[in-house]
Every structure is written in structure tokens, then in C-alpha cells.
Amino acid sequence: MDNISDLILFVWKYIIYELNLTTILLALTSVLVILNIRRRPGLPPGPRLFPIVGNLLSLSPTKMIQTLRGFRERYGDIYSLYIGNEIVIFLNGYEAIYNAAVKRGGQFLHRPPSVLQKIGMNRTGIIYSNGNLWKEQKSFVQKNLHALFIKNGAQNMEFIIGNEVDVLLNEIELAGDGDLDPAECVHTCALNVMFQITHGRRFSTDVKDLKEFALDIQAIAKHVAKMQLLANCFPFLVKLPWDLLESKRRLELVKKTHDYTRQFVGPYQADREHTNLADAFNEHIHKQTSVKGENTFTEDQREDTLTDFIAAGGDTTATAIMWTIVHLVRNPSVQENMYKEIVNVLGYGHKPSYSERKSLPYTEAVILEGLRIGETTALALPHSVITETAFNGYVFPKDSTVIFNLESVLKDPDIWNEPERFDPERFLNHDRSEVLVPKEFIPFLTGPRSCLGDIVAKMEVFDVISALVMTFKLVPKSDGRLPETRGEMGITFRPQPFEMRFQKRDIAL
């Protein structure tokens, strides 16, 4: 009997123990789930959180812009999302962005720290660097870009762009008036301009290496985005011995692009006249190494900065040109107004240049409208705050990512009447004699982290588009299909691939 009683007691205690253990585990799990789906106190509002992935399920890769617009309508100009365990705060509208980027630019100029830095993915260069390194690189590039190509060399810049425009026009003419995807020749044109600024050389349009370089740059951007997303949602992957994030692949791509650009940098020569940024870097590196060994500029940093400059400038400018072409094909009357203005002011056979834009207000307005409606950098590169920061009644946690949503300004219906309509006249005064640029026109952002090469991009887009319109009629492909106005979100916001026709005008340049 005692044995049976002991057995019953044992079974009962075991059941109670198991129930308590299960209850405890369930309670702990519930607490962890609740903690994972609660926002930190003081954070801007945002959609419902899910364990592990945060708000990732609320984002649509194919409808990113529309999704972010919906969040703004629901939560206001400042809202927050969790991408895995990373807090991402979006600033929308001109006032919020201006206050952060300009009025408090010193607090918002940092790039966010990344878990990828723990696996050797940190960058120098100019785009992703911070602190003194970023300040030195930016100041150096800005100073030399201005001295070599802008201040006393504006004609030099126009000459470089003009030559590439001639090559582009010739390539399109040789292709005939059949259906053509202009993306490759436009990107080659933009990359050649950047290579001449950085290294003083250009490439034939059929050079295989240049095409591979362009593809490698795009692959790096896509690869990093994928790795960052996985690392944010599953941070334990960083600590595992296997290379599940494929960091070696990214490092190989970076080395390949560096090796490609490094081969064009000649040795330092004391009596060599500076004609490009690489020459200026070489002299600075030489001076740094000869002063007590204090070397703040290295060859690796040079390659990072120059590659950043080529990649960012080439891709952004080419995408802006492509968006303008999309809308010109869809709006033939705008093309004809441009053509008539250029002919009436400059005459036949004269290729317009950026320095003549003041005498071509309608043409300049078309370029500005293309930059606005194309919103090439719809989401500016991420920023961060290095200390906990109070802003507009919210608390931005230390190291949280901050995104300036430029689309929310460039397409804001409170600023632009019918913002989805391509209308250059929104930039003109009542008699179309003068260009008026609202303060809210910020396609290249504003503040300390605004685009370093915006003047180059403006010059190139103006020269390319005006030359295309002077030489060709930009018309739909042979089946009449128009290019889509829907874009693809990546590092830049680019048009869907499309084909069109370039019909030679009766009177050529």
C-alpha cells in the first residue's frame, strides 16, 4: 500500500512539476514575445511589430514608395519601423527633413553603425565613413573638384561632358531608328564622365571591363543590402563560424573594383600638373607620408573614395537622365517646346551647354522637373544619431538609423500641384521668362551630407537631355508602348527597363 501511495505521490508531484515548468516556460516565452513586439518608450509611432522580423512583413519590395506614403498618412511625418532588431526612423516632409539635415545637421550627419562591421565589412572612402575621416575626405574632394573642374575649370567640365555627349549621340545614331534600350549607352556616358574627373581617362563604349565594373558596383550594393537585412533579423549569423552571410563574396567584389581603378593611378610625380582627383590624391598622400609618418590619406582610402565617387555619381546621373527620357517620351509636346526654344535662342547646329541655361528657361525647367518627378534618390542614404536625441517630441535612440524620405517632399501635394504630372512650367514665372526654384526642391538632399557631386550631375543631365532633344525625336517603341512611370527601388530609384526609338530630326546639330 505504501509503495502504491508513494508512486501516486511521485506521479502527482511530477505532474505538478511539469505543469509548473510548462507554465514558467510559457510565461517566459510570452514575456519575450511581448518585449519583441513593444516599441521602446518615446519612439515615434509605427505599425504593429512581429517577433524577430519586426516590421519587415509590413514592407512591400515592389511597392515601397506607396507603403511609406501610407505610413505617413497614418502616423504623420515621423514614424519608426523595426527591421529585425534595428530601429529605423523615417523623416517625411520638408520641415522635418530640413530641421534635422540643416538646423541640426551635426547630430544627424553620421552613417549608422552596422553589424557587418564585425565581420570586416567596414568602409573608409566618403559615402559610409564618419568622423574626421569623412570630414577630411569630403573637404579634400570638394576643394579639388571645385579647383580642377568648377571654379577655373568650368569650361573643362563642359568640354568633358560635351565630348561624352557627342559619343552618345553618335552611338544612338549608329543604332538606327529601331527599338532601343538606352540604359547601357547612357550609363557608359555617365561613367566615362566620372572616370575622367577621377582618373583623367575614358573608355570605349564596347569595353568589356567597364561594363563588368558597372555590374560589380550594382552587385555590391545589392549584396550588402541582403547581408544587412539578414544580419538585422538574425544577428547570431554573424557569430557562426560558417560564412552564411557570404562576406567573402562581397570582399572579393570590393577588391576587384579597387584593383580595376588602381591600375589607372600613375605614380606620384612632383612636377606633374594636376588634371584629375587621383593626381591630387597622390600628391596629398606623398605629403602625408613625409610629415612625421602621420598618414591620414592612404592608397586604400584613395581607392575607396574614388570608387565611391564614380559609383554614386555615375549611377545617380544616369538614372536621372533615364527618368527624364521616360517622361519626354510620354510628353512629346514638352520635347517640341524645348526644341523650339533652343533653336530660337541658339539657332540650328548649336549644342546647348549648362553655362547657357539662363537663356533657355524652359529647357532648364524641363531638367528640374525631370529631377523632381524622377526622384532618383527617393530615400537618401541612411543617417544616424550617435547619442540619444530628442527631436520633435520623440526620442531617437543612440545609433538608430534615420532615413530622409525625399519622395515625401518632391511629391508632396501641398507643395506641388498634381505632383505625379510632368509639368516643367511649375518652375517658371507667369510669362515663362525666368526659372523659379522653390526651397523644397531638394533632389540631392540638403545639409552636410548632401550630394557632393550635385553640380556635375546637373550639368550632365542638362547637356545630355538638351542635345538628345536637339538631335532626335524621342518616341515610343514600334508597338506604341510607352515607358512605365513605375520604378524599381534599389540604392537609386530607377525606371523599369524599356525600349524606345530615336528619330533623327531633319536638321541635325
- Please give the grid coordinates belonging to residue 217: 558596383
CB 305 within 8 A of CB 284: no
- Please give the grid coordinates belonging to residue 332: 512629346
Tell me how far apart the alpha carbons of residues 399 and 383 are, in angstroms, rounded to a whole number.
9
CB 428 within 8 A of CB 365: yes
pLDDT in tens, the chain (509 residues): 456 666 556 555 555 555 554 444 444 443 444 444 578 889 999 998 888 778 777 777 678 888 899 999 999 999 999 987 788 999 999 999 999 999 999 999 998 876 555 555 556 788 888 888 889 899 999 999 988 887 765 568 889 999 999 999 999 999 888 999 999 899 999 999 999 999 988 887 667 777 778 777 777 766 666 666 566 556 656 565 666 666 777 777 778 887 888 888 877 777 677 788 999 998 888 877 655 555 668 888 888 899 888 888 888 999 999 999 999 999 999 999 999 999 999 998 788 999 899 999 999 999 999 999 998 888 888 899 999 999 999 999 998 999 999 999 999 999 999 999 999 999 999 999 999 999 999 999 999 998 888 889 999 999 999 999 999 999 999 999 999 998 887 777 889 999 999 999 986 44
Task: Say how many C-beta atoms besides its own lie within 10 A of residue 51's C-beta.
Answer: 12
The set of residues, in sequence order, having a beta carbon less than 8 Å from that of 27 and lying 6+ positions away, is: none
- Please give the grid coordinates belonging to residue 43: 519612439
Q: What string of H, E and C letters represents the secondary structure of 267-319?
A: CCCCCCCCCCHHHHHHHHHHHHHCCCCCCCCCHHHHHHHHHHHHHHHHHHHHH
Tell me how far apart the alpha carbons of residues 265 and 185 are, in angstroms, rounded to a whole number.
25
Contacts of 411-416 with CB under 8 Å at 24 or more apart are 411/373, 411/375, 412/93, 412/94, 412/440, 415/94, 415/440, 416/372
pTM: 0.86
Phi and psi (nearest 5°) for 138? -65, -50
DSSP string, 304-364: HHHHHHHHHHHHHHHHHHHHHHHHHHH-HHHHHHHHHHHHHHH-TT----GGGGGG-HHHH
C-alpha distances in Å from residue 142, one per residue of 145, 147, 309: 5, 9, 11
